[in-house]
Structure 1
């Protein structure tokens, strides 16, 4: 996959620390990337407030109601902390660390923090335009994790490097590398990687 913007080019590493931290109702949030996905599965960055997919990392420090995202789907993964309890349309879901939970943005959602603050990776996709999937993979130095078109790899624990052509670059915890079909980047190391895949509905 080739992208039309340098910030979303195959193999680009997005450093979470470079993203502006801002307040939200339950803590603080940093956006990783947001944009659209066209019919050729090419990623395009958002140029205004309109986006069809968004990746972010947010702290959840206060219990209470989440803001609804009408017409969107959400996948939340606890990446630091022990346990988050979500009440989704009246049903309680225990969200353990590194176990992605997908739910409708139309749902009424409340959060409780039985073991204290958590940090979460959030993937939000417009239901009519993009499907999102998150899986957690354990990294190995013997078996490289390839990242293909419309995929992102977010290092959530451990130490890793990104291999591409003849280059090797360090991937820091909570940084993200962008996948691609041509010379797809590979991630090697020890720890856990969240692989975010975007697709057309």
Structure 2
């Protein structure tokens, strides 16, 4: 288990220069936006505008903070999304998976927003993101290798050690590793990453 404290997240401008990202982790180490196999980041969306296009990349995002974020989708979509020209991300809502090849614009629904973003290079890695709430005393066991990003402060116990977690801190877990939540309800996003078949 490894902890990535928010204070240590690398901050950088978006690929299109229209926002700020806190990079939680990326692989391989030292890779940039053109060379990563996967990248986990927290995006600060200050204004309406286009998303960066990431050809050959699969993405999933979930809202962490703010009133809501509307995504205006391209006209040509997979059958499962036909008719859904706009998707709204809300606090507590399900993460949204989409292709980085798509041309998408976003609109803040009542002020700036912050979202969690996992990107995996198609053909190299696949991912899944789930939003969970852990009750006091509840234990999470990682179903696969990946990350847990906290959307609330928490106190956890792992390997017999108690740790204070701040909002937007993250922990890396291998498959089967676990931690227990203590004291108060913990809001988390669980991201699993695995090699492509």
TM range (shorter): 0.7 to 0.9
Give 3-state SS (helix, strand or coil) of 2:7's partner: helix
Aligned 8 A contact 1:162 1:185 in 2: no
Cα distance change of structure 1 residues 114 and 48 upon mapping to structure 2, 3 Å threshold = closer
The 2-side partners of 1:119 and 1:18 are apart by 18
TM-score in terms of structure 1 length: 0.83
Which contiguous aligned blocks of 4+ residues in structure 1 show a shift greater than 3 angstroms?
none
Cα distance change of structure 1 residues 29 and 187 upon mapping to structure 2, 3 Å threshold = farther
Q: Following TM superposition, by how much is the alpha carbon of 1:23 offset from its aligned partner in structure 2, in angstroms?
A: 2.6
The 2-side partners of 1:70 and 1:181 are apart by 29
Gaps of 5+ in 2: 76-84
Structure 1 residue aligned with 2:9, among 11, 14, 19?
Answer: 19
TM-score in terms of structure 2 length: 0.84
Across the two proteins, how many residue pairs are aligned to each other? Answer: 180
The 1-side partners of 2:102 and 2:175 are apart by 35
The aligned residue for residue 40 of structure 2 is 55
Aligned 8 A contact 1:26 1:63 in 2: no
Gaps of 5+ in 1: 1-10, 36-44
The 2-side partners of 1:56 and 1:141 are apart by 27
1:126-170 deviation digits (Å, cap 9, x = unpaired) = 11111111101111113211235412111012x323322221111
Task: Please report the RMSD computed on the Cα atoms of aligned residues, expressed in angstroms.
Answer: 1.7
Q: Following TM superposition, by how much is the alpha carbon of 1:85 offset from its aligned partner in structure 2, in angstroms?
A: 0.6
